[in-house]
Structure formats: C-alpha cells, structure tokens
Amino acid sequence: MNKRKREEEEEEEGIRMGTDIVWQTPANPPHPHDYIFRNGIRYVKPYYFEFIAHVKNRWAGKTIVDLFAQEFKGRPYEYYVSAVKCGRIQVDGERVPVSYIVKSSQKISHFVHRHEPPVMACEVPILQKELDVLTVCKPASVPVHPCGQYRKNTVVGILQAEHGLAPVFPVHRLDRLVSGLLILARNASKADIFRQQIEGGLVRKKYIARVVGEFPKDELVVDANIDYNAREGRSTAEVRDSAKGKAASTKFTRISSNGAQSIVLCEPITGRTHQVGNYQIRVHLKHSGHPIANDMLYISDETVNRSSKGSSADRSACTSATALTSSIEEKVVNDCEEKSNVGFSIDPMCTNCPNLAPKGYDTDEEGLWLHCIQYSGPDWTYECPYPDWAKLTQTI
C-alpha cells in the first residue's frame, strides 16, 4: 500500500469516526446486552470509548505522537501516528498534526475501540438490601470498581447493568482475586460514616483462607512490618523493630485441617487500610510458613509440593456464590449465554480485534483462596457464607 492511499484511508476513517461511531464516556451506564458469555467466562462486547487526560508538566514539550508512544506503551508507534492523522487522538477537541507540541494542562482525547479483560461468569448475589446499604458476595476475578482496563466488568458495573443499582459507593476494598463480603453504601453520606469508622479503627474484619500444611491448633498472632517491593511487585514481612515497611498485626485461628491443607480464620488487628484483606493477610500467612495454597505470588517451590492444586480458585469462588443462589445463577448464566451468542463490530484500527479480550489476558487465571466473611462496626454486622473450597476432604 503506497503512502498516498494509506493517507486517504486514514482520512476516510477520520470522517467515519465523526459520523458513524457512537462514543461512550464514563457517563454512559452499562446494560445487560453489553456482556457476552462463553464457556463460563464473562466478556464485555468491545465498544468505542473516549479516554480523556490532561497534559502533565513532564509531558509538555513532547510531540503528541512521542507522548503517547512513551507514556502508553500498549500499542505500537505506528498506531499512534495513524490515530493522530485520522483524528482518534485530539488536543482540546481539535485534530492536530503528528508534529504538534503539547502544552501543560491541555486536554487530550484518545478515541479507542475498548476491549475489557474477561472475568468469571459468576452472578453477583445480593446478600442484604437496605435503604442506605447494600451487601453482596463478590466473586473472585471481578474488580470492585472501574480501574485500569476494567469498567463494565466490575461489581459496580454488573450491579448497575443487571440490577439497576446505581449509584453505589464501595465501603472497603477487596482485591480482584479475592472473594466474599462487599459492603456498598447507597449514598455519599452513608459512605462517609463507614469511612470515618474504618479510619477510626472501629471496624473489625474477618476472612478465611485455605493454606498449605497443618496450621497450629493454638491461636497465632503475627506481628511483622509489611514492606512493598515495587521491583518484585510483592511485599515482604520484616521484623517489628525494622525500619522497613509499615507496622501490621494479624490474628490467625485454625478452623479445620486435613494434614495437607488447613482452613484458617484471619483477623487483621492493625495495619494500613489498603493492606487489610490484601497483602497483609497474604504476607503474614507466608511469614507464618503457611501461605495461601494457590497464591503463586508468595508460595515457594517447596510448598507447592506440599499442596494439591485442586480446582481453579476462580471457579471455587464462583461456587461460594452458587451456594447462595445455585439454581437461579445457573439459569441466569445459561440464559445469558443463549442471548449473547452474537458477534461484534471489528474495528480496522484496533490492535485487539478480532479477539474479545485485550492482548495479554489469560481467561484461565485463578483467583485466591481468600474470602471475606464478616465486617462489624459499633452497631452493625454484615456477613457472607463460606465458599465451597472451605470444605476440606480428608487425606488418607
């Protein structure tokens, strides 16, 4: 293809972009027809979306193409050249040449064919629905709220699409690979009350984990600082008087054991808010010599041999929700699969088409055997049933 023909096609794409495509923004709510269910996986039908950013001081002085190529490396340089030429990248709402030098605080729009990462095709069961509080059983693999490449494939997005529940305000954090109780306030004032109680140390949290080995019968309290290593992408436990990391303490109590693995109650006592239910429990279990049995970030080769892999933790977490509404969920998923056997528009400029999922995402990803079962405050308690993976089979 010669240069002139390519430029003509890019010009045509720019015209089509302005006339035929309906661009979504964060203001556009998700709908049930946005999802595609295949082989137990929930996909989001790719859609056109406008990403908006403002030029940071360190970006100023770069060409628009160099800015994107250096700061957003998920696409090749040639894509950004074409995107600028056809108007899919704009500055202050205007098309600019590829040599355009950006200035601080300018608005940059990137119009993309958005592919969201897939999650397990689990229902999000509603546990309690009150006037100003909603509690659900969050499945593993589903993020709580829009973040990164996830927008519709989130608990907040699914609740809005499938239950018409919006707005909702997540009160606490559960990592994407963690399942269990999630509390959502139904108005900003109630969310602020929860926030004050959590920050004031008035809220207790309980999780259960499935760990490697026979956990001690006696209660175990781990006091060890949590130090995050950005290079390795994980945290380590440091001795309490170490200058490294932040102070944290977690109480563990064995619930059951079959010798090879144990079910353990985990109660964070102190620690940074964002660590609770996340790295604190995982790191402290690793520090105790009994890491979560499928936590490949913290488990060692030695402990892998001591633990049977079992079933996919994502699917196990799904069955914890299924235990609540098994027959209903099966009907919902099957009905969705029947109704979502449709294709989607292929975008000629998209670097992810014709695949449903964006590049680099594995549909076989496992969740963690870590599940939130209870949150309690000064005058309230919310609970979530145990997942099926908490039932250990006896070893011979």
The arrangement of strands across the sheet holding 47-54 comes to 47-54, 107-114, 89-91
For residue 307, the model assigns a pLDDT of: 42
Q: What is the DSSP letter of 132?
A: S
φ/ψ of residue 20, rounded to 5 = -105, -20
Alpha-carbon distance of 354 to 377, in angstroms, equals: 48
Q: Are strands 370-377 and 179-185 parallel, antiparallel or unpaired?
A: parallel
Residue-wise burial string across 260-278, b where 16 or more C-beta atoms lie within 10 A, e elsewhere: bbbbbbbbbbebbeebbbb
Assess contact for 170 and 145: CB atoms under 8 A.
yes
Residues 6+ apart with CB under 8 A from 103: 55, 60
Q: Tell me, what's the pLDDT at 18?
A: 44
> Given this model, what pLDDT does residue 278 score?
74
Alpha carbon distance 239, 241 (integer Å):
6
Give the Å distances, CA to CA, from 162 to 179, 183, 185, 190, 222. 19, 18, 18, 23, 41
Please say whether the beta carbons of 290 and 210 come within 8 A.
no
Output the six-digit token pair for 158: 């699914």
**Peptide bond before residue 167 is cis, with ω within 30 degrees of 0:** yes
Q: CA nearest 339: which of 31, 12, 106?
A: 31
Find where tokens 């008035």 sit.
202
Q: What is the total residue count of the chain? A: 396
Dihedral sign (CA 24, 29, 30, 31): negative
Structural domains for the chain: 32-115 (3.10.290.10), 120-302+367-390 (3.30.2350.10)
Answer whether 61's CB lies under 8 Å from 70's CB: no
Distance CA(48)–CA(347), nearest Å, equals 9
How far is the C-alpha of 128 from the C-alpha of 322, rounded, in Å?
16
* pLDDT of 272: 56
* Sign of the Cα pseudo-torsion (207, 211, 217, 220, in order): negative
Cβ-count burial of 249 within 10 angstroms (0-12 exposed, 13-18 middle, 19+ buried)? middle
The H or E element that residue 192 is part of is helix 188-199
Contact 210, 262 (CB under 8 A): yes
Question: Whole-model pTM?
Answer: 0.81
pLDDT 10s per residue in the chain (396 long)? 455 555 445 444 444 444 456 777 777 889 999 999 998 899 999 999 999 999 999 999 999 999 999 999 889 999 999 999 999 999 999 999 999 999 999 999 999 999 999 999 989 999 999 999 999 999 999 999 998 899 999 999 999 999 999 999 999 989 999 999 999 999 999 999 999 999 999 999 999 999 999 999 999 999 988 887 777 777 778 766 666 778 889 999 999 999 999 999 999 998 655 445 577 999 999 999 999 999 988 886 444 444 444 444 444 444 444 444 343 344 444 444 444 445 678 998 898 999 999 988 766 677 899 999 999 999 999 999 999 999 987 654
The DSSP annotation for 217-284 comes to SS-EEEE-EEEEETTTTEEEEE-TT-SSSB--EEEEEEEEE-SSEEEEEEEEEE--GGGTTTHHHHHH
Are 110 and 88 in contact by the 8 Å Cβ rule? The answer is yes
In contact, 266 and 206? CB cutoff 8 Å: yes
* Beta-bridge mates of residue 263: 210, 256
- Residue 341's pLDDT is 41
CB atoms within 10 A of CB 129: 12
Per-residue buried b or exposed e for 51-74, using 16+ beta carbons within 10 Å of the residue's own CB: eeeebeeebeebbbbbbbbeeeee
Residue with tokens 């490449």: 149
Residues known to be catalytic: 175
Confidence at residue 232, expressed as pLDDT on a 0 to 100 scale: 72
